[in-house]
Amino acid sequence: MDLDLKGKTAVVTGGSKGIGRAVTAALLAEGMSVVVASRTPGEPDALHVPADLTTVDGVEAVVGQAVEAFGGIDVLVNNVGGASTEMDVAGFAGISDERWQRTFELNLFSAIRMTRAALPLLKASKGSVVNVSSLSAQLPATSPADYSLAKAALRALTPALAEELAPAGVRVNTVTPGPTRTGFWEGPESVCGRLATQYEMEETVVRERMISTLGLRTGRLVEPSEVASVVAFLASPLAASISGADYLVDGGMLKSV
């Protein structure tokens, strides 16, 4: 399906791996120019800007290079984020102030700074913003408290921005992935990898048991490309009447009416 994005420019934060890399690939396939803001390169056809998005200088560098290379920004995908895969034995009480700050800087404040910096360009293009949250925002017991709360705040930011920016023609939406096939779920440093080491089990066995316990109707992890296809749709003119919405891509894990 042609999403009518050809010739437009997107900025994807955290676009070098996982969901962000899949989003970058999907937008490139639609004929967009893509600026990837990340510490390491991703898709070779994208313009990579090495930037620390927890700093004002990093955010301004991304916007500046997007303007210099492509003249503006039509789509902003606030995807950068992450959670600790360490076993939080002490729970909430064991999360330090420093970790709370790091988690919120990465998962929330980076999106706030990035959106604020890109806003004049998005208004000029009547563009769109897609925030990538997490199912942990709605099922906080599935992740550490700091990550769940940061993603819940990002999700709450979406309708507030959508309401304020609607008169300027800028749409803002959220995509909420469930457990997705990324480094958080696969590999020796992943949650499943650490549990496998701790209990002397095969990582695949641990992952299968977690999928069953979490109740994914599909019986498997979400693929990054599946999240990316929803992001691309929401970014496109085909979603012109969708604003302030939250789209779940969770394999049926969330059970609600």
Give, in degrees to the nearest 5, the angle at Cα 114 between 112 and 116.
65
Q: Is residue 216 part of a domain?
A: no
Q: Is residue 79 part of a domain?
A: yes
Q: Is residue 214 part of a domain?
A: no
Query: Which residue among the candidates 22, 83, 111, 147 is catalytic per the annotation?
Result: 147
Q: Is residue 170 part of a domain?
A: yes
Whichever domain contains 228, its CATH number is: 3.40.50.720
Q: Is residue 27 part of a domain?
A: yes
147 part of the active site: yes
- Return d(Cα 54, Cα 257) in angstroms, integer: 37
pLDDT digits (tens, 9 = 90+) for 13-54: 999 999 999 999 999 999 999 999 998 999 999 999 999 999
Global pTM reads: 0.94
Residue 130 has which token pair? Answer: 């897609």
Domain that holds residue 227: 9-180+223-249
pLDDT digits (tens, 9 = 90+) for 168-199: 999 999 999 999 999 888 888 888 898 889 88
Q: Is residue 245 part of a domain?
A: yes
- Return d(Cα 9, Cα 47) in angstroms, integer: 11
Q: Is residue 70 part of a domain?
A: yes
The answer to whether the Cα torsion of 82, 88, 91, 94 is positive or negative is: negative
User: How many structural domains is the chain composed of?
Assistant: 1
Q: Is residue 115 part of a domain?
A: yes
List beta partners, residue 147. none
Residue 31: per-residue pLDDT = 98
pLDDT digits (tens, 9 = 90+) for 103-137: 999 999 999 999 999 999 999 999 999 999 999 99
